Structure 1
Amino acid sequence: MAVYLDESTYSLTEYESQIAHNIARILAEEQIKLNRESRSNSDGIKTELEKAIAYLYAKIRQAEGKSKNNVLSTLFNYLEHLVKYGKQIGHTGNVPKYYDSILYACEQYFDIKQDNATRVLTILGWSARLIRFYKQKIESGEVLPAIAPVVKSPPETKNQTITNQSQKFEIDQILDATVVKITGSKVSYQVGDVFIPNEKEPKQAKNLQEKQIVKVKVKVTAIKEDGSIKHVKYHSI
């Protein structure tokens, strides 16, 4: 299956390249995990990612002449639908789990309100190509370094004024948070006045209580260009 890329450029910035590699690594590790559980050697997660890419490409073409940022919300809704109703619409085996992993990876690195869909298309295209590369490395026994957080450096401008200094955070900073909602293995946190929805916490979600105010320590795993929190991870002290 063809992997569609942004027609205007096939190159990635360093920031985008890091995201492409991280997504590929996440999905490769998940594929290996699921293959071990089912005793298979499938590349199904790559196939399903390519289908999602084709879907995004089609939606971008339909939206030509309009804002392409809103197209990303369509992709996320599509993935969420497949995760929720995958078995009912004929998907069997690990396919719903594949889409859950793809959705999780996209939620970690893309902002549907800010990111341009054509650039996301290019990044995911490279990720699809890199999945097998990482899968082979891991299966060969190579020990890979931990997936590093990705931080986008703000553009340099003269007389630049940085606002909201009190709201800026650092990677690996440990903060107090409140558990707001639990949906399956996903937990929504409140850090100060910042709401962080649907962080995947498969090991911790069952130990937390939905809607109960609980003080937990969280580990910042990604920050936005303006220095605000993008993602956090439960951190046991």
Structure 2
Amino acid sequence: MTEPQSVEGVRLQKVLAQAGIASRRRCEQLMAEGHVEVNGEIITQMGARVDPVNDVIRVDGRRVPPATDQAYLLLNKPRGVVTSMSDERGRPDLQSLLAGRPERLFHVGRLDTDTSGLLIVTNDGDLAHKLAHPSFEVAKTYVALVAGDVADSVGTRLLEGIELDDGPAQVDRFRVIDRSRGRSLVEIELHIGRNRIVRRILDRVGHPVEELTRTAFGPLKLGDLAVGTTRELSRDEIGALFDSVDT
């Protein structure tokens, strides 16, 4: 196949090796075997050069983010912690959970003080802006413990859309996980980013939220990460985040 148009840039096998895919020799084998594509085109020529920042590089369909010193963390925020790096009122904040990190980090979007769960923390300002911007419509998933036995018809209503004080709201996915002793556990996915949107939606249909946890943000899953701890995102997770905003 043809190589990228520009004669500038970095050799593709070097970019792959620097990203931690494999040794440079193994990366050359992957190219020769047709596993590597740049901007949607399979690249097999060893002389191919790429722009590691702007070109979209994939190995077996998985996005390869550029090698960087930037930090990408997943944090399981506890309830009672303010989504701020420094709270002027002296309440527990994110900085208390990120002690020892040398970077100047900031959070992507917000979680209410009473909401726990997945929060992305990074120093990649461009990616953070896109992930938080409503125009990219990155989906978020929450699990909520709510008052009352949630009827199946509630899900239909939310999927069709309801009216709130600040305009219409619609969820992308809704399911009841469990009903027990006058309370229900539900899962809700939506891409709306308005203030306290999940709590307001569920309150509007008569099921006030008692506990709320965000379990997914775009391609990222909270999994079994302990409350109050962080972990580095994997290369595949970072690549999937880039894909979610098509950077």
TM-score of the aligned structures, taking structure 2 as reference length: 0.22
Larger-gyration structure (1/2): 2
Higher-helix-fraction structure: 1
Higher-strand-fraction structure: 2
TM-score of the aligned structures, taking structure 1 as reference length: 0.23
